[in-house]
Amino acid sequence: MVKDLYPPYESVPAEWLVGPDQQPEYLDARYAPPAGEMNLTDYLVDRHVRGGRGAHVAVHLFGEDVSYTYAQLAEASHRLALGLSRLGVVPGDRIAVRSTNRPEATIAFLAAWRLGAIGVLVPATARRDELRFFLNDTSAKVLVFANDQGSGIANFEALARSQVASVEHVIAFPDSRGTDHLSWADLLANDDPAFEWPTYSPDALAVIWHTGGTTGTPKACYHTARRLILAAEHTATGYGITEDDVHLFPAPIGHAAGWLSRLTFSLTRGITQVEIEEFSNPENILRAVDQYQVTWLIAMGTSWSQMLAVHERQPGTFDLSSVRRAYAPFITNNGEWLHRAWRRHGLDLLNPVGSTAFAAWFFIPPSDGSTPPMCVGRPVDGWEARLVVPQHAPLTDVAPGEIGQLAVRGVTGLTYWNRPELQQRDIREGWTVVDDLFRVGEEDGQYWYMGRSDMMISPGGHKVAPVEVEEALSAHPSVAHVAVTGAPDPGRGEIVMGWVVLADGFEPSEELRAELQTHVKARLAPYKYPRRIAFMDELPRDPLGKIVMKQLLTWAKSGEPAPGEQSTT
């Protein structure tokens, strides 16, 4: 078990990082980074070129005649890193990247790592106030962004530079037209083929990203070069990646899950990945799978649902026969209909689970049919898990078959950026305790995802996991999509509330509301039925396609009809 011992940085105060005594326990790794000092970009790109795979395609950009081989990624990141070094970027400096799903974002992170700098993820949807927060929270020195005039930040001065004092340089790609910023194209004109890049400790910081902010202000955590490599190698083994794989994950690169698929998992094994800038269009995903013969496809449940509608509306249009492994992360049992539907088309949707805290997927069901539909299986090699009583000290395992909060330890773990109070809260007895609920089968020891622990509902002193009610409601033929939250109640303190999108052919009515309540009462304990049900046009979702539970809770607490709520009169 090796604790991280960070190199000193001029621009990173030591107290912003997690010392050895506050780090989680790390398990011994089957795979390890090179002994001694290293360079992360060399590990992810250059070694493939040296190994004879320089001509292998690393990235295809769907919709444009653009591809990068590993040799071209190496050269572009080399040139950009030279430009950054001439701007004064040194090890430990933070380079923030705000981009849609384009190869330039990958190149920017690779260039940062050549220098020993730290990449910072910024969601492409971030606007002025959000962007200001991300930059200030990480004290970013450089901002790299896609020069989209509709983004609201083409003119960085609109952010009030005095409020983001750390930023010294702003780089716009593909060029700086319409702005006063540095041009990506000009920086890539730098070249010095003989320049040798520095090596550094594997404990050097490599990336900072923020949680989704489900329960409040986003919180930053970081990972070192060592932990990224260990996560990537063990996860890639769990997925069974081979050199001929073509990978597609239609999710934003500004979020950790999408970023990992591009920047570590694919590059570590030297395979090809496909970028789709407009990935919210399900037809684009299907066409990309067909065009590039994708073998390893991960998509959120919303994307699978949208793709299903298009695929069935246009039978025979898209060839999906190349897909050997298909994954729909974080689907609970109320998504079993989606699994059945895609099985009719020859794809078994497997349900992996991971976390920003670990930079990894630590549950990856094997593709041999040994896990039931929607089950997440068991922890893959490199991690171990247990279920504990929520908000209880010391850590106490729940009884077999009971729902508990997930605690994990492995080759990676949670390290917060400049949040020591959160580090102390979430690292307990060497385990990282995450905000997710699971259940373990009493006989087979396999895990089932049951939703987030911070969404537990407490009607009249009882405890209700929303997913239990969601599964019951989903079994009714009128329900197309559903989410369940708590709602304030003067008598009970809190009640169960269902947010329902109806299937085609059904209309909201008081009679249907009562029928759904009776339907749940017949399946669950009386205190679990939804005393309030809102019929919605649609549910609010984030760029990953996940339901924004925080928004539903806000609406529930307001006591007013939610935007898009349908009347029953």
Q: What is the DSSP string of 444-475?
A: T--EEE---GGG-B-GGG--B-HHHHHHHHHT
DSSP 121: E
The pLDDT score that the predictor gives to residue 152 is 46
What is the DSSP secondary-structure string of 147-179? --TTSS-SSGGGG-GGGSTT--EEEEES--TTS
If one counts the domains in the chain, the total is 3
For 134, how many CA atoms within 13 A lie in the half-sphere containing its CB? 28
Kindly state whether residues 522 and 417 are assigned to the same domain: no
The pLDDT score that the predictor gives to residue 492 is 78
pLDDT band at 2 (very low <50, low <70, confident <90, very high): confident
Last residue of a domain, one of 403, 428, 453: 453
Is 92 within the bounds of a domain? yes
Residue 115 sits in a domain whose CATH number is 3.40.50.12780
What is the DSSP secondary-structure string of 311-346? HHHSTTSS--TT-SEEE-TT--GGGHHHHHHHHTTT
User: Which residues, in sequence order, are CB contacts of 323 under 8 Å at separation 6+?
Assistant: 289, 294, 295, 296, 297, 347
Cis peptide before 394 (omega within 30 of 0): yes
Kindly state whether residues 161 and 275 are assigned to the same domain: yes
Q: Which residues of 145-171 are buried (b: 16+ CB within 10 A; e: fewer)?
A: bbbeeebebbebeebeeeebebbebbb
Helical packing angle, 301-313 and 336-343, nearest 10°: 40
Task: Please write the tens of the pLDDT for every residue from 406-448.
Answer: 999 999 999 999 999 999 999 999 999 988 889 998 778 899 9
Kindly state whether residues 416 and 460 are assigned to the same domain: no
Kindly state whether residues 427 and 352 are assigned to the same domain: no
DSSP 28: P
pLDDT greater than 80 at residue 452: no
Last residue of a domain, one of 438, 453, 468: 453
- Cβ neighbours of 396 (radius 10 Å): 10
Kindly state whether residues 159 and 208 are assigned to the same domain: yes
Q: Which domain holds residue 499?
A: 456-558
pLDDT greater than 70 at residue 346: yes
Is 444 within the bounds of a domain? yes
Least confident among 426-440, 455-469, 509-523? 455-469
What stretch of H or E contains 248?
strand 246-248
Contact 541, 552 (CB under 8 A): no
The pLDDT score that the predictor gives to residue 461 is 67
Specify the amino acid at residue 355. Answer: S
Counting residues of the chain whose pLDDT is more than 70, the rounded percentage is: 95
Kindly state whether residues 138 and 237 are assigned to the same domain: yes
Beta strands in 374-457 (DSSP E): 383-388, 403-410, 427-428, 431-440, 447-449
Q: How high is the mean pLDDT of the chain?
A: 90
Sign of the torsion formed by the C-alpha atoms of 212, 214, 218 and 223: negative
Task: Please write the tens of the pLDDT for every residue from 81-124.
Answer: 999 999 999 999 999 999 999 999 999 999 999 999 999 999 88
What stretch of H or E contains 224?
strand 220-224
Kindly state whether residues 258 and 158 are assigned to the same domain: yes
The pLDDT score that the predictor gives to residue 25 is 95
Kindly state whether residues 464 and 531 are assigned to the same domain: yes
Encoding tokens for residue 456?
Answer: 């537990």
Q: How far is CA 171 from the centre of its chain?
A: 25
Q: In degrees rounded to 5, what are phi and psi of residue 502?
A: -80, 150
Which range, 117-131, 166-180, 212-226, 474-488, has the best average confidence (pLDDT)?
A: 474-488
Q: Does the pTM exceed 0.75?
A: yes
Judging by DSSP bridges, how do beta strands 447-449 and 479-489 pair with one another?
unpaired
Is 529 within the bounds of a domain? yes
Kindly state whether residues 161 and 70 are assigned to the same domain: yes
Task: Please write the tens of the pLDDT for every residue from 126-168.
Answer: 777 788 899 999 999 999 988 764 444 555 555 555 578 899 9
Residue 449 sits in a domain whose CATH number is 2.30.38.10
Is 56 within the bounds of a domain? yes
Is 523 within the bounds of a domain? yes
Question: Which residues sit opposite 145 in a β-bridge?
Answer: 98, 172
Nearest alpha-carbon partner for 211 in 270, 94, 106, 133: 133
Q: Exposed, middle or buried: residue 315 (CB in 10 Å: 0-12, 13-18, 19+)?
A: exposed
Residue 551 sits in a domain whose CATH number is 3.30.300.30
Kindly state whether residues 401 and 490 are assigned to the same domain: no
Is 28 within the bounds of a domain? no
Is 249 within the bounds of a domain? yes
Q: Which residues of 370-379 are buried (b: 16+ CB within 10 A; e: fewer)?
A: ebbbbbbbbb
The pLDDT score that the predictor gives to residue 453 is 73
Encoding tokens for residue 391?
Answer: 């908000």
Kindly state whether residues 72 and 129 are assigned to the same domain: yes
pLDDT band at 239 (very low <50, low <70, confident <90, very high): very high
Read off the pLDDT of each residue in 515-542 and give the average, rounded to a whole number.
Answer: 91
- CA atoms of 468 and 524, how far apart (whole Å): 8
- CA atoms of 259 and 263, how far apart (whole Å): 6
Last residue of a domain, one of 424, 453, 482: 453
Is 550 within the bounds of a domain? yes
Hey, is 298 helix, strand or coil?
Answer: strand
Cis peptide before 174 (omega within 30 of 0): yes
Kindly state whether residues 407 and 441 are assigned to the same domain: yes
- CA atoms of 40 and 199, how far apart (whole Å): 9
Query: Assign residue 19 a region: left if phi > 0, alpha if psi is -120 to 50, beta otherwise?
Result: beta
User: Which residues, in sequence order, are CB contacts of 564 under 8 Å at separation 6+?
Assistant: 536, 537, 538
Encoding tokens for residue 78?
Answer: 């080399």
The pLDDT score that the predictor gives to residue 309 is 93
- CA atoms of 216 and 279, how far apart (whole Å): 27
Encoding tokens for residue 232?
Answer: 């990537």
The pLDDT score that the predictor gives to residue 455 is 77
